[in-house]
Amino acid sequence: MAPLISIKNLYFSYGEQLVLENINLDVNRGDFLAILGPNGSGKTTLIKLILGLLKPQKGEIRLFGQPSATFKERWRIGYVPQRAIARVDPVFPVSVAEVVSFGLLPKKSFPRFMKASDWEAVRRALRQVEMEAYERRKLSQLSGGQQQRVFIARAIVAQPEVLILDEPTTGVDVTTQERFYDLLGLLNQKGLTIIIVTHDIGIVNKHVKQVACLNRRLVYHGTHEEFCSSPRLKEYVGEHHLVVHRH
């Protein structure tokens, strides 16, 4: 079966600064891939290239077998952006249900009016992230962890096949992070392919199946088990992160 996301010989630079060099990476159905790397290693840039927010200067990205530039069914990829919680404007009068409903828009054709079945889909997505009771609440009145769940609901409401999260636990306390990763593990078990960009090596312990280490180039790509037993692990993540056994 063809990979859902296929990246070949990808290069990208901001001006003179080369950020990504000769990246080759496939993501297959059912994968739970963590992209690890230090600050400025090109993780977010890679995600933006996959999402079509940036254009590759060299190389190719194929999504579901189609070239990224002409790929139209964007709803097949759910996305939770970096610092999503920090960007929530406390003045913005938007309810939890309204935020989740945004995720349905790419799947609809003009005029994109909401039907009763759409609101049912919104409730289903909220139920999946255990936030159904908060449907009518103003988003900014929720805690960081609850907001993060709402953003996940927005990303999965259109029933995408891939979910991409860019540093989703920034600003969320440790207990909430644990619950959050458990939720991602559950979604992956149900068949959702997940790509998570993180500094947090701890998530590798939990549910991740594949690991990619990025530092301008792809310095490692393999399974969780290989990653944990690799003699070069220290190089990838630093000595203080070496306890990476799955519980």
Residue of the chain from 110, 116, 239, 243 that contacts another protein (CB under 8 A): 110
Q: CA 35, CA 167: separation in Å to the nearest integer?
A: 10
Place of tokens 């255990």: 130
Q: Where are the alpha helices (DSSP H) in the chain?
A: 43-51, 96-102, 116-128, 144-156, 174-189, 202-206, 224-229, 233-237
Is residue 157 within 8 Å of 125, Cβ to Cβ?
Answer: yes
Give yes or no for residue 136 binding another protein (CB under 8 A). Answer: yes
Among 17, 113, 239, 243, binds another protein (CB under 8 A): 113
Check: CB of residue 123 under 8 Å from CB of residue 82: no
Of residues 43-82, those binding another protein (CB under 8 A) = 51-53, 72, 74-75, 77, 79, 81
Please identify, using beta-carbon distances, which residue of 168 and 224 lies nearer to another protein.
168
- Cα distances (angstroms) measured from residue 180 to each of 129, 171, 175: 9, 13, 9
Among residue numbers 184 through 243, which ones bind another protein (CB under 8 A)? Answer: none
Check residue 98 for interaction with another protein (CB under 8 A): yes
The yes or no reply on residue 112 touching another protein (CB under 8 A) is yes
Interacting residues toward another protein by CB under 8 A:
51-53, 72, 74-75, 77, 79, 81, 84, 87, 89, 91-95, 97-99, 101-103, 105-106, 110-114, 136-138, 154
